[in-house]
Amino acid sequence: MTGYERTVDHVRDYIQRFSLDNCALGNQGYNRVLLQLFGYMGHGKSSLINSCKYVLDDGEYRIHANALASHTSVTFNRTAYPLTDTITIVDNKTN
């Protein structure tokens, strides 16, 4: 279909091109966005990171952040995963 773009493609392109310089008030001295994920053990923080990386990398699904369906924590350290040059998603350890 000519001229047809899937919503997911549009959103992916928007995120990949996102720049703080293009915000309504400019970058206000900031040069990056850190998306900090917090939540209870087993609630899907690492799975969300893996899904975001998969969609934005537009390639084969890989495990970037370990995730298990269990009652024990898999994330032991705060780990940052770059999504773009501007946006980084951070998996925080569960206490």
Half-sphere exposure of 60 (CA within 13 A, CB side): 1
- The model's pLDDT over 26-36, given as tens digits with 9 standing for 90+, comes to 999 999 999 99
Structure tokens at 71: 């009652």
- Mean per-residue pLDDT of the chain: 83
Contact between 91 and 46 under an 8 Å Cβ cutoff? The reply is yes
pLDDT of residue 93: 74
Structure-token match 């369906």, residue found? 69
Q: How far apart are CA 75 and CA 29, in angstroms?
A: 32
* pLDDT above 60 for 71: no
